[in-house]
Amino acid sequence: MLIVKNKEEISKVLQSFKSEQKSVGFVPTMGALHKGHLMLVEKAKAENDVVVCSIFVNPTQFNDSKDFEKYPRTETEDLKLLEEKGCDIVYLPTVEDIYAQENDFELNLNGLDNVMEGAYRPGHFKGVVRVVKRFFEIVKPNNSYFGLKDFQQYLIIKCMAQELNLGGNIIGVETLREPSGLAMSSRNMLLSESEKHIAAEVYTSFKNIIKNSTEKNLHECIDKEKQRLSQWFVINYLDARSSIDFSEQSKIDANTRLFFAGKLGNVRLIDNFGIFN
């Protein structure tokens, strides 16, 4: 596995693969890797000749500097896991390497960035789009892999990729969960064992809403689960929204997705669940 720390070197290496018509699959991450990340690498591996994984804790997407500082960093362990998974190239850029040659750009995200995480984390998606755009420009992948765990991010990146014609095919990968139902996340490392147990209640709430809601009572079911979860969480939102444009829904249909964000102690967790998948 090749470890590359600057864009000149990665461009050179990838150029030689591309001249041999080899396809490049790209998995961007912020490290502190878990099995969910590795599933993306596995899928990229199965569908491409060469797999590039980046590890970069992107400062521009953190609206809270304390959150940025306490974000878990486990580089040595991450490299070992990627090597075991057969990742071909790991890109570990510096902030300078990514942002030094950035061009201004205008982007219409059709309002996808105004709700949920966009509303609660001002500037977050601007930072995500900036960094992913730079990665796409440097790596020029044929296929790029994103987890549906961050569904809003996935849809925004898909929109950006289409608008700017970057990133190749944007492929969404289902959320990997612990047996308890807790969505795997780097931030789970910051939870105690008892908090992890409680965090799985979000999944129970998704299931309860799906089981109990009828044509007429979706909002009542959501309110009931909000109340139940609020004994443990400071809830930012628990919403039923369209998975196409994030409009709020009062009735379940084939595109309905449930979205949650809330704080458990000092750790902010997000999760989402598609009603029909």
Of 84, 157, 89, give the one whose Cα is nearest residue 127: 157
First to last CA, the chain: 35
146 binds ligand AMP (CB under 6 A): yes
37 binds ligand AMP (CB under 6 A): yes
147 binds ligand AMP (CB under 6 A): yes
- Is 152 within 8 Å of 117 (Cβ atoms)? yes
Site size with ligand AMP, rule: CB under 6 A = 17
36 binds ligand AMP (CB under 6 A): yes
SS3 257: strand
Distance CA 191, CA 135 (A): 30
Tokens for 262, please give them. Answer: 């809330």
Instruction: Find the part of the chain contacting ligand AMP (CB under 6 A) among 2-10, 111-119, 170-178, 264-272.
Output: 170-178
183 binds ligand AMP (CB under 6 A): yes
Which of 186, 205, 236, 249 binds ligand AMP (CB under 6 A)? It is 186
Distances (CA, A) of 1 to 43, 50, 51, 87, 262: 17, 11, 10, 6, 38
Instruction: Find the part of the chain contacting ligand AMP (CB under 6 A) among 169-177, 202-210, 217-225, 237-245.
Output: 169-177
128 binds ligand AMP (CB under 6 A): no
Which of 42, 88, 117, 150 binds ligand AMP (CB under 6 A)? It is 150
Is residue 37 annotated as a catalytic residue, yes or no?
A: yes
Instruction: Find the part of the chain contacting ligand AMP (CB under 6 A) among 68-76, 95-103, 168-176, 231-239.
Output: 168-176
Cβ proximity to ligand AMP, 7 vs 34, nearer residue: 34
Distance CA 183, CA 170 (A): 21
Cβ proximity to ligand AMP, 175 vs 249, nearer residue: 175
* Residue in 37, 124, 197, 219 annotated catalytic: 37
Distance CA 132, CA 231 (A): 37
Tokens for 95, please give them. Answer: 């902030």
Of 87, 256, 266, give the one whose Cα is nearest residue 192: 266
What does the DSSP 8-state code read for residue 192?
A: -
Task: Give the residue numbers annotated as catalytic, written as ranges.
Answer: 37
Interacting residues with ligand AMP (CB under 6 A): 29-30, 36-37, 39-40, 146-147, 149-150, 173, 175-176, 183-186
